Amino acid sequence: MALAFIDKALLHIEFLLNYFVESNETLQMGLKHLRAFLLCARKWHNHILSESDENVRTRMGSILCRLQDALVEDFDNLSLRRPYTYRSSNMSTRAFDFEECVYSFRQEIMEYYITLSDYSCSLQSDRSAEFIDSLLVNLVDIREDLFCGGQDPVQALREKMVFVKNFIRFAELQGFEPWKLQILYTRLDVVAVNAAILCHEWFCSNFLYSYSESSDKFQLKFSEMLQKIKGFDPQI
């Protein structure tokens, strides 16, 4: 049931991003960050069901169920079969309601991310690439918002993620067996989840902080995250 909801929600998100929200940055932001979370949840869903303890399964499953209950009515009001009948005049109201809804789940989404960060699991699949790509889009938005000058930790983090992702893809095309790349899969997953945590914090901060306070705070947080990323020899 959770996967069916996630797949349906992702379809609606892509529909909105492609057809209706080019001029509405607020709704774009909310949709992009929700997309990253849902892709992350979809990537690790089966692992959580099979590997985690019962308390974790129950808690994380409950988060998705509550999110589904909150969003399903809003999504069902959109018709994928009649995209041009949706009135742009409703977008401002919908943008506010949608962002408020996502923000109301800030603690649950953060709990989900933090729980995942405690797992060193790694799943080799195209869905992993989708999650990474979604995060890279959000990092571009954050970089533009923070107006980083000089040392740019957001761009540096993005470049590291792009490099490892492309290197993994290159190694796969060269025929390297998955077990030889396991350390790369795991490291990229760990970095991605921690980047998702910072992206989520940044999204929520737009409700709480002035620009200058938020900017300084997150430049420091991204810098600290970069310092924790250690070099390694993949030995392949």
pLDDT digits (tens, 9 = 90+) for 105-126: 888 999 889 888 876 555 455 5
Within-domain flag for 53 = yes
Within-domain flag for 199 = yes
Q: What is the pLDDT of residue 83?
A: 47
Within-domain flag for 66 = yes
Do 109 and 22 lie in one domain? The reply is yes
Do 160 and 88 lie in one domain? The reply is no
- The alpha carbons of the chain give a radius of gyration, in whole angstroms, of 18
Place of tokens 């049931």: 1
Q: What is the pLDDT of residue 236?
A: 45
Do 105 and 165 lie in one domain? The reply is no
Do 110 and 159 lie in one domain? The reply is no
Do 68 and 136 lie in one domain? The reply is no
Distance of alpha carbon 197 from alpha carbon 187, whole angstroms: 16
* C-alpha atoms less than 13 angstroms from C-alpha of 161 in its C-beta half-sphere: 29
Q: Which of 85, 102, 119 is the last residue of a domain?
A: 119
Do 72 and 114 lie in one domain? The reply is yes
Do 102 and 130 lie in one domain? The reply is no
Do 49 and 161 lie in one domain? The reply is no
Residue 141 pLDDT greater than 50, yes or no: yes
Query: Which residue range is the domain that position 49 belongs to?
Result: 1-119
Q: What is the pLDDT of residue 85?
A: 46
Share of the chain above pLDDT 70, in %: 71
More reliable by pLDDT, 81 or 47: 47
Residue 157 pLDDT greater than 80, yes or no: yes
- Of the ranges 121-125, 141-145, 187-191, the best mean pLDDT one: 187-191
More reliable by pLDDT, 5 or 149: 5
Do 114 and 129 lie in one domain? The reply is no
Residue 18 pLDDT greater than 50, yes or no: yes
Do 216 and 168 lie in one domain? The reply is yes
Average pLDDT over residues 10-24: 75
Total tally of structural domains belonging to the chain = 2
Within-domain flag for 193 = yes
Q: Which of 73, 91, 119 is the last residue of a domain?
A: 119
- 142 burial type by CB count under 10 A (0-12 exposed, 13-18 middle, 19+ buried): buried
The pTM of the full predicted model, rounded to 2 decimals, is 0.82
Do 158 and 90 lie in one domain? The reply is no
Do 90 and 191 lie in one domain? The reply is no
Place of tokens 């960050």: 33
Q: Which of 119, 137, 159 is the last residue of a domain?
A: 119
More reliable by pLDDT, 83 or 13: 13
